[in-house]
Amino acid sequence: MTDLTAFIAGLPKAELHMHIEGSLEPELMFALAQRNNVAIPFASVEEVRAAYSFSNLQDFLDIYYQGANVLLKEEDFRDLAIAYFDRVAADGVVHAEIFFDPQTHTDRGIHFDVVMRGLLAGMADAEARHGITSKLILCFLRHLDEDAAFATLEQAKPWLDRIEAVGLDSSELGHPPSKFERVFAAAAALGLKRVAHAGEEGPAEYVHEALDLLHIDRLDHGNRSLDDSALVRRLAEERMTLTVCPLSNLKLCVVGDMKEHPVDRMLAEGLRVTLNSDDPAYFGGYINDNFRAAAEGRGLTREQIVELAENSFKGSFLSDAEIDAHLTKVREYAAN
Ligand code: ADE
Ligand code: ZN
């Protein structure tokens, strides 16, 4: 292990951009396919991994939604969450705010409550066994219509005390944030925080819409904001947190090479950048792999790496007292 790898490994951190369906490793996909008697179009784990070559977001989404077909029962969602938390416990993750896509499951006839109960069981297990705290972010699929998002929000109502925020994901181009202005307003009225994927493949204009129409508390990806210098200044002034995902950016061709990743440019612009894995089972790495890839690709300093970890707590939906306690631990670690 290099010094930097060891330093990243022990650094306490939060993960703020991770789709739980995107943490489904091929091995678990096969095990669940067998357990649930679901056919999958792959003969082996190696064949699944070989299929994970994408030239854009849609390429990935097609295979990601197909993978989710093996998730049927409460225990499947629980086991999926347990596998993620067990894996990131080794990466120094002490808090995670995880996305889930209920429509991917309810559209297959699985009840919203089955998904919730399973994920909550996995989260309770993570807290009991690893001391990892977590929160849930319900994402609306933006390729579906507003009515479908409203129906999903309705299904979430009995669970509002267990859902922290709503988010917006799936195919970005052609599905601007404005399409979901009313459903985000309804979510806000219910006391939910708001995040949205914007500026991953879509233009800086979508980031403006996410800020002005969805009133987001956090920006997921946001890479294309860099095309608009006034927007960058605004994001910096508003202390907006960006959940950046380096290996995802590489695998989905948002950047051509990790040597060209804008993480340090974003930091230099005063943006509150965090590093995250997005869909770790599909993009070749968990959160520390993302820290390492960005650090090596861009020659990040220890100070920059510590800043990224601090930002992960500052940008979280934890209380101020919880954030302060985590920041103290990061600084103690960095000082030793
Ligand atoms: N769903 C899962 N991962 C996603 C991503 N990177 N962008 C949009 N939707 C997603
Ligand atoms: Zn994402």
CATH code for the domain in which residue 295 is found:
3.20.20.140
Question: How far away, in angstroms, is 77 Cα from ligand 2 center?
Answer: 18
User: Residue 95 belongs to what H/E stretch?
Assistant: strand 93-100
203: closest CA among 229, 228, 178, 224? 224
Residue 187 lies in a domain: yes
Residue 237 lies in a domain: yes
Question: What integer pLDDT is reported at residue 83 of this predicted model?
Answer: 98
How many other CB atoms sit within 10 Å of the CB of residue 131?
A: 10
Tell me the backbone φ, ψ of residue 134, rounded to 5 degrees.
-155, 160
Question: What integer pLDDT is reported at residue 199 of this predicted model?
Answer: 98
Residue 214 lies in a domain: yes
123: closest CA among 137, 113, 133? 133
C-alpha dist (Å) from residue 316 to 112, 248, 307, 327: 25, 21, 14, 12
Question: How far away, in angstroms, is 194 Cα from ligand 2 center?
Answer: 14
Token match 């210098």: residue?
A: 229
pLDDT in tens, the chain (336 residues): 779 999 999 999 999 999 999 999 999 999 999 999 999 999 999 999 999 999 999 999 999 999 999 999 999 999 999 999 999 999 999 999 999 999 999 999 999 999 999 999 999 999 999 999 999 999 999 999 999 999 999 999 999 999 999 999 999 999 999 999 999 999 999 999 999 999 999 999 999 999 999 999 999 999 999 999 999 999 999 999 999 999 999 999 999 999 999 999 999 999 999 999 999 999 999 999 999 999 999 999 999 999 999 999 999 999 999 999 999 999 999 998
Cα–Cα distance measured from residue 303 to residue 332, given in angstroms and rounded to the nearest whole number: 13
Residue 41 lies in a domain: no
Sign of the C-alpha dihedral, residues 317, 322, 324, 329? negative
Cα–Cα distance measured from residue 262 to residue 239, given in angstroms and rounded to the nearest whole number: 18
Is residue 299 left, alpha or beta, with left meaning phi > 0 and alpha meaning psi from -120 to 50? left
Residue 275 lies in a domain: yes
Token match 């943006």: residue?
A: 271
- Please report which ligand is nearest the Cα atom of 16: 2
Residue 114 lies in a domain: yes
Cα–Cα distance measured from residue 160 to residue 154, given in angstroms and rounded to the nearest whole number: 10
How many distinct structural domains can be found in the chain? 1
User: Ligand 1 pocket, 169 CB below 6 A?
Assistant: yes
Interior CA angle at 42 toward 40 and 45, to 5°?
A: 110
Structure tokens at 183: 């459903």
Cα–Cα distance measured from residue 331 to residue 309, given in angstroms and rounded to the nearest whole number: 10
Tell me the backbone φ, ψ of residue 194, rounded to 5 degrees.
-135, 135
Question: What integer pLDDT is reported at residue 2 of this predicted model?
Answer: 78
User: Ligand 1 pocket, 197 CB below 6 A?
Assistant: yes
Cα–Cα distance measured from residue 294 to residue 291, given in angstroms and rounded to the nearest whole number: 5
Number of H helices, E strands in the chain: 17, 8
Active-site residue numbers? 200
Residue of 140, 169, 180, 277 with the most ligand 1 atoms within 8 Å of its CB, for mutation: 169
Domain that holds residue 148: 2-25+77-335
Question: How far away, in angstroms, is 44 Cα from ligand 1 center?
Answer: 25
- Please report which ligand is nearest the Cα atom of 278: 2
Residue of 17, 24, 57 with the most ligand 1 atoms within 8 Å of its CB, for mutation: 57
Question: What integer pLDDT is reported at residue 164 of this predicted model?
Answer: 99
Cα–Cα distance measured from residue 267 to residue 247, given in angstroms and rounded to the nearest whole number: 18
C-alpha dist (Å) from residue 217 to 57, 227, 315: 24, 21, 9
Question: How far away, in angstroms, is 278 Cα from ligand 1 center?
Answer: 7
Tell me the backbone φ, ψ of residue 242, rounded to 5 degrees.
-105, 130
Residue 40 lies in a domain: no
Question: What integer pLDDT is reported at residue 333 of this predicted model?
Answer: 98
Atom of ligand 1 nearest to the CA of 279: 3
